Structure 1
């Protein structure tokens, strides 16, 4: 029997609101079949194709019940999902909601009169001084390959620990987490990779509630959605949008670390984020600079959404009594010592630290080798101005 199932749920509490990002789908309740024993194979590390059901789209109604520390109900509201079962909203912290410490989740739209309990959550509070690290996955933590049909098939049908681990990247991320940074994973992998990705992260002692992936259902929608078929290959808009979403959920951190690679467009994406945080340009001017880049191709809806998010973030930064600090780690290609960026971005290149992340099998002894870390050098080419 199928029932609504919570694919992921992330709630973050700040001084002003509780930000919630969730996704619900329909799923067989396979681990609760009467008194039959649990099949331990279902608890083994998963691989992406097992979650292919997440390509289906459903709409849901999510009832949120907020409880205080004495288990008293002090908040209740129903939210509608988008046509893909996704929720993204904020609960303002007022007198009646300021004491919420526990959230209970119910789906109430599938069966009239029936409230299906999806789970209970404690909102994540990132304590001051707020420190956040946002890390890419493919080509940054794991050397996945998608250049041939066979490689794509292998990526779908094997656990991620069968691919080489980029040990240097894992070491950097774990070191940053030990310094008190809260981790988020941002990847352009399909949304049905989440279970397999979380398995890999936990095996490598990287614990995060926030994994942001590309929802491929939106790409193939007949309606004008957040993503279009061009976004299959062009990652700039998607990743920058989710970078903005994370900071709109968490609030502006005092210290931010971004980790990625130089195999696609991570340097341009992260330098754009730096220009937002450092307020190098007015939002509308930065929007024009971004629009002119090949890494960002926006339709009308994406134009308005992106500009709106920049203005929101700019307003949040303006109210700060501190200047956010930013560090960017980029895994370099082979013997690379320079990063090529358009002229408009070169002023923030000193924020980037290049490192050599050679792929190694996770079980292989690295022998304590130290990889060379090189400061990014400016090698730019001009960008056309509008």
Structure 2
């Protein structure tokens, strides 16, 4: 028997609204069962291949206050991939929302299927965020050959070397009150495996943003195209902007990435915008033809629209956001090669050595 199941549910509460990002899918359900905790092992990505399927859902969201009284109720429809992305303006009783209860109401007429209860992450007052890449920054994964791709699908992420310096830096900022987000170009069905790895390393509240590969092969969408399998600029810049739309402009922002792909140009683009050095749309007109991006017309219009929104949010602030960028070295490079339009600010970016920690050989899961 299959029933609707939430892959993830991320709710972020700020002073003015609650932003919700969620994804739903159909999953086999065999009823309640006794769980043998000793038999639980880390998940590996191929176990979640079911997430490549697409379906539409409707969720009814009920908001409760601290006394478990209902103060909000509304129904939302997903896109045809089962993804939800919306904001709930906070006014009146809505400001008292402490927990959400979610129900799927579309798949079986007349039946409301409980998907779970969720507490929004509160980011109010002074906002401090850290946004970190995953592959090559926190974990030294490899995808350059067929064998490496197969290994990445059939092994838990703990089987790959951890970049200990990156992890120490990441958790140091979390301990200092920065809220963590993970931004990765890995396929969307890596989420549970990634969450397992984060929990093992005592990172419990990170929002995860992955690349939805179903959009690449959708003829109707145009949001991602086959070229975006290798080019990460669109995806990462798009979701950096999405995170800021959800949280609002932070007072302090730390960006962590590596020098293997396009992280430096993406992060420096955001840095220039947040420092009010140039109007967002003007900077984008200069950068959109860079090899790291290569947008088509629809992609260009989507990102440009988000830049306009970001520009309005930045203009409403009196003080600039403090931004610090950390880039893991690819080898022994002393500087970063970057698009001259960005005029590299050497005080904003710090190169660091990230030597992967060897892993002990253990028995790998058998499919």
TM-score by length of 2: 0.95
Worse overlay, 288-297 or 2-11:
288-297
**Structure 1 position 41, deviation (Å):** 7.3
1:113 aligns with 2:110: yes
Per the alignment, in what secondary structure is the counterpart of residue 207 of structure 1? coil
Match of 1:22 in 2: 22
Q: Which of 159, 162, 172 is the matching residue for 1:162?
A: 159
Q: Any idea what the Cα deviations from partners look like across 1:350-375, whole Å, max 9, x if unmatched?
A: 311000001112579xxxxxxxxxxx
Q: Which of 222, 225, 228 is the matching residue for 2:222?
A: 225
CA contact (8 A) 2:61 2:74 kept: yes
Q: Which of 180, 184, 200 is the matching residue for 1:183?
A: 180
Q: Where in structure 2 are the equivalents of 1:44-55 lying within 5 Å?
A: 44-55=41-52
**Structure 1 position 347, deviation (Å):** 3.7
1:172 aligns with 2:192: no
Q: Where in structure 2 are the equivalents of 1:1-386 lying within 5 Å?
A: 1-30=1-30, 32=31, 37-38=34-35, 40=37, 43-361=40-358
How many residues in Structure 1 have an aligned counterpart in Structure 2? 361
Rate the CA distance shift 1:230–1:208 in 2: closer, same or farther, 3 A: same
Rate the CA distance shift 1:41–1:295 in 2: closer, same or farther, 3 A: farther
Coordinate RMSD, CA, aligned? 1.5
CA contact (8 A) 1:274 1:348 kept: no
Q: Which runs of 5+ in 2 are unaligned?
A: 362-367
Per the alignment, in what secondary structure is the counterpart of residue 338 of structure 1? coil
CA contact (8 A) 2:276 2:320 kept: no
CA contact (8 A) 2:23 2:84 kept: yes
**Structure 1 position 38, deviation (Å):** 2.8
Match of 1:378 in 2: none
CA distance in 2, matches of 1:89, 1:42: 38
Per the alignment, in what secondary structure is the counterpart of residue 63 of structure 2? strand
Q: Any idea what the Cα deviations from partners look like across 1:57-92, whole Å, max 9, x if unmatched?
A: 010001111112221112111111001000000011
Per the alignment, in what secondary structure is the counterpart of residue 62 of structure 1? strand
Rate the CA distance shift 1:308–1:41 in 2: closer, same or farther, 3 A: farther
CA distance in 2, matches of 1:180, 1:209: 13
TM-score by length of 1: 0.90
**Structure 1 position 42, deviation (Å):** 6.6
CA distance in 2, matches of 1:140, 1:264: 11
